[in-house]
Amino acid sequence: MDLIGSELAILWNDGTEQFIPLKLLRKECPCAWCAKNAGTQSSGPAYTEDSFQVRSMVPVGGYAFQIIWCDGHAGGIYGYDYMRKLPNR
């Protein structure tokens, strides 16, 4: 798993490579707050440039990653299964 430019590159155990744009990753943030606010025009999350920059990624129990974004948002735990279902570039 590697950050390349504005994308997250993942090499899965079966050899599949996946490239997920960070913008998409942030918009698909699985935390309760984002899930609740996604798609609602009036109260949707207000993104800034920092919202799409990753500050750090912390492994969670061998099945997921917590992504901490540069705007301070850190609620999203991205399970491997969840990431695999995201569209590949």
Closest approach, Cβ 37 to Zn ion, in A, equals 8
Nearer to Zn ion, 12 or 32 (CB): 32
User: Distance between CA atoms of 54 and 8, rounded to whole angstroms?
Assistant: 10
Question: Toward Zn ion, which CB reaches closer, 75 or 79?
Answer: 75
Cβ 29 to Zn ion, closest distance in Å? Answer: 3
20-79: which residues touch Zn ion (CB under 5 A)? Answer: 29, 31, 34, 75-76
Nearest residue (CB) to Zn ion, 13 versus 40: 40
Contact 7, 89 (CB under 8 A): yes
Sign (positive or negative) of CA dihedral 6, 27, 57, 52: positive
Exposed (0-12), middle (13-18) or buried (19+): which is 78, by Cβ within 10 Å? buried
Give the footprint of Zn ion on this chain (CB under 5 A): 29, 31, 34, 75-76
